[in-house]
Structure 1
């Protein structure tokens, strides 16, 4: 069994402030270790459930966050950004039995995590077929393009609840809950135990209920925080610019939606 893990940091147990997620700040070193420990716990749970290959995508900011010295010998790690539209899921393909997510956070505009956002700070809302989407939404649909079910997610309580709305069968561990700029969180040690056990349980079940259905067509709407980003992105082929801060794009294939997001939101 091959397992793919996408690892972020803002949904890691205990994280509360942006300084803890930025590699140029002194607080980052501590929370980088917590991010790594949660990822390793997910790897151990997958191994216990029968995984024979595990590929990890470091998926936060520089994509060079995980402490490699802590990774088990059976893990292959993908670091930095290739430029491929799969973004946080780069490296996944149809050979994987399941996708897992650690350190995940809720979407921009929600109050369940002080660090909630969607891809960048320039996005106010990103909608797929009329529903406001999180990074998890995009990544679970990316996995579904390859026929890979999303079996487990660890992150803030709001993200866990929303993950179940898209994939009812997904296993989750709520690491924290936001209260304005504050959080109530599991301890890092408790999170590690819960994630290890949660992943093993999730991968030991029938994963058929963990594969979201792909739509026949897609509408992407991006609402930016300022008109500047929308104007720049409006030159993408096929992109509509219906309002000062808003872009709209339609496609039959979800990969075309991913490609538009990669160039319009992420940029170079």
Structure 2
């Protein structure tokens, strides 16, 4: 059995502010340690349920090099660094049996939710067949593209609800209750880890009962972008056109794998400033 654990940082217990998630800010090292420890709790739970499982851990926050390799459970393989083809789900393939989301956050504009956003500050919204999807929905649909179910999510209560709307039978572990964009009532980190381990074991044991979230093709997509300059750059991409107001682009592609790649490209275009 192969299991992929995708680990973000904003949804980790105790994390509520960008100073804890940004490598250039003073409290980032604490965020990294908390992130690594929650990943270890989930690895342990997976292996409690399936001792012979192959466990891959995808570092899925920001630069994709946050988890401390020397502190990660040595039984897991770490997917680290960027750019990489499947982004936050680096390591996913047709041989994967289950995906677990750890430390995930809600989509942009879904507040009150801790550090809510979608992929980056460059993107305001992604709508697939008019349904708004954040990172939870995007990554669940990418897993579904490979026929793989998302069996667990941890994060704040809003993020947990977001996955349950897409995958009702998935296991969710709320490690904090959101009070706003940068405020929450959080479990003690050790309590969060004690809840995550048995939840991960339960989720993996039930993976065959959980239906993947599949978005069939062809797929119509609209993306609202923060900067009009990014819209201008997006017009250089074949198949992308303007839609609606001055900040929206649209495209139709064959399957969700292509959706994911194009949205990743739009995120990168959002980092380019006018010359």
TM exceeding 0.5: yes
Which category of TM-score, normalised to the shorter sequence, fits these structures?
over 0.9
> C-alpha displacement at 1:65, in angstroms?
0.6
Compute the TM-score of the two structures, normalised by the length of structure 1. 0.95
Structure 1: runs of 5 or more not aligned: none
Q: Provide the C-alpha distance between the structure 2 equivalents of 1:39 and 1:186, rounded to a whole number of angstroms.
A: 16
User: Residue 228 of structure 2 aligns with which residue?
Assistant: 227
CA distance in 2, matches of 1:22, 1:171: 29
**How far did 1:159 drift?**
0.9
- Count matched residues: 267
Decide which moves more: 105-114 or 116-125: 105-114
Post-superposition shift, 1:152?
0.6
Residues 194/112 of structure 1: CA separation in 2 closer, same or farther (3 Å cut): farther
Match of 1:252 in 2: 254
Q: Which runs of 5+ in 2 are unaligned?
A: none
Alignment of structure 1 residues 50-65 onto 2, 5 Å: 50-51=50-51, 52-65=53-66
Q: What is the RMSD computed on CA atoms of the aligned residues?
A: 1.4
Contact 2:109 2:117 in 1 (8 A): yes
Does structure 1 conserve the Cα–Cα contact (< 8 Å) formed by 2:19 and 2:28? yes
**Is 2:11 the counterpart of 1:27?**
no
Alpha-carbon shift at residue 114 of structure 1 (Å): 3.3
Corresponding residue of 2:70:
69
Partners in 1 of 2:110 and 2:215 — Cα distance?
25
Shift of 1:123: 1.2
Aligned 1:209-220 pairs, distance under 5 A? 209-220=210-221
Which residue does the alignment assign to 2:8? 8
1:177-216 matches, within 5 Å, as 177-180=177-180, 181-216=182-217
CA distance in 2, matches of 1:179, 1:206: 32
After superposing the two structures, state which structure 1 stretch, 193-202 or 251-260, moved more: 251-260
